[in-house]
Structure 1
């Protein structure tokens, strides 16, 4: 056992504690045993609280203004794109359709004829053309005016559209002349369709100023047989129609 030095006896030990919480004698003992004074123990620093998530209220005013501007611009662009899409669709419709009747115009109908001819050459798909010239149309125009004539044309177009299949085409070639393209149909099917249409037009009426008027038609049928052009195919169907009209007089 190590003897305490005289200066460190219990009788002479001061009552006051040192800054580290130890008496002078305790510090001397520790120094003699371990070669140094104890280091003061420090408490760990408190952990700072986690930052609260931002709700947007803390964002700078400039950032919120920019975001609002981008949202408004996005809404405006969507509206512009929708309007432009509708305008393009309307322009395409006007480019392909007759200005008066719900049928294709001559240009678009010739395009469909060309496609059917191409399918016939490449794959052997049959197709037939029905050519229609109205009977009594001039008399309606002369007797009741052009408004009645327009109603007659619309009436005929609606009856033709109601009697064709999806994939067939109905076109107004000019004046009171219409044509029907029957895809995947041979000459017997086309002739049967023409007879049905002729019978329906002979009994169907349309109203004009309280009067119920009727307009008929003469039909010519021509199958695709390797004609050189769509115009040639139409001319052959027109000639067939003329023979029918001539024989019925």
Structure 2
């Protein structure tokens, strides 16, 4: 007996259909979208580590700052010049002190060496200042010194240099003078100061002064010319000692 042909029954569960290419692309797109959305959320929550560059100052502000700095610098320079002048000035007499005079002497000698110029140094000593101080007080002595400086300033040119070397001693740096002219100038200074008369406590007082000169040329140095003028002054002072007088 022949068995009837029939369909062979499937032994397992029915097989599922495999997804096609379109389904795979759609699934990948969804996955990418989800990933992008997650990254965007992370970027919003994590602060950026990059530092922002400071904004450039406006040009007008920079110019104001530069102008202010220039003003401060000019004020500082003026203050420095003022302090330098104070350090070189005799405040009682308003002329150079020894420090200032020696600085000017060094400058002048450098100029003379370079340009072959000449001049003379005069050292002047007030003869009777100590007795005046002892008898009438230091205020009287200060008045004598001021009177002497007034005479010196009337007898020198604007290019010459006058300074107080200390106590009753003065220095004069005279430009473009021969030794003969310098000796004549020194004699004129002595004569003018000898004529000065001061009155203290009803007494007429004459101080007098002695001078010494030394020529300056391109080969001169400061120490030697100061020493030479000082020696000449003391020699002159010895000669004048008997003539110098104090009228009381």
- Structure 2 residue 82 is matched with structure 1 residue 90: yes
Match of 2:233 among 238, 241, 245: 241
SS at match of 1:220: strand
Matching residue of 1:231: 223
Q: CA deviation at 1:211?
A: 5.1
Higher relative contact order (CA 8 A, sep 6+): 2
How many residues end up aligned between the 2 structures? 184
Structure 1 pair 158/102, CA: closer, same or farther in 2 (3 Å)? Answer: farther
TM (normalized to structure 1)?
A: 0.63
Contact kept in structure 2, 1:102 and 1:154, CA below 8 Å:
no
For the residue of structure 2 that corresponds to 1:162, the secondary structure is helix
**Distance in 2 between the 1:77 and 1:118 partners?**
36
The structure 2 residue matched to 1:150, chosen from 142, 148, 153, is 142
Q: Distance in 1 between matches of 2:219 and 2:236?
A: 21
Distance 1:78 1:229, change over 3 A: closer
For 1:120 and 1:81, the matched residues in 2 are separated by 34
How far is the alpha carbon of 1:173 from its aligned partner? 0.4
Q: Tell me the TM-score normalised to structure 2 length.
A: 0.63
Q: CA RMSD in A?
A: 3.2
Tell me the equivalent position of 2:121: 129
Match of residue 151 from structure 2:
159
Partner in structure 2 of residue 205 of structure 1: 197
Q: Which residue of 2 aligns with 1:66?
A: none
Does residue 1:189 correspond to 2:208, yes or no? no
Distance, in Å, in 2 between the alignment partners of 1:102 and 1:158 is: 11
8 Å Cα contact 2:109-2:220 kept in structure 1 = no
**Alpha-carbon distance between aligned partners in 2 of 1:155 and 1:171, rounded to the nearest angstrom:** 14
Q: Secondary structure at the match of 1:133?
A: strand
1:84-132 CA-partner distances (Å, limit 9, x unpaired): 6764453232122113212101111111111222222222100100011
Summarize the alignment of residues 79-118 of structure 1 with structure 2, pairs less than 5 Å apart: 87-118=79-110
Mark the runs of 5 or more structure 2 residues left unpaired by the alignment.
1-64, 243-248
Please report how far the alpha carbon of residue 229 of structure 1 lies from its aligned counterpart in structure 2 after TM superposition.
3.3
Question: Quick check: 1:102–1:158 contact (8 Å CA) kept in 2?
Answer: no
Q: Flag structure 1 segments of 5+ consecutive residues without an equivalent.
A: 1-72
Taking the aligned partners of 2:69 and 2:110, their CA distance within structure 1 comes to 42
Query: Do residues 216 (structure 1) and 212 (structure 2) align?
Result: no
CA gap of 1:77–1:207, structure 2 versus 1, over 3 A, is farther
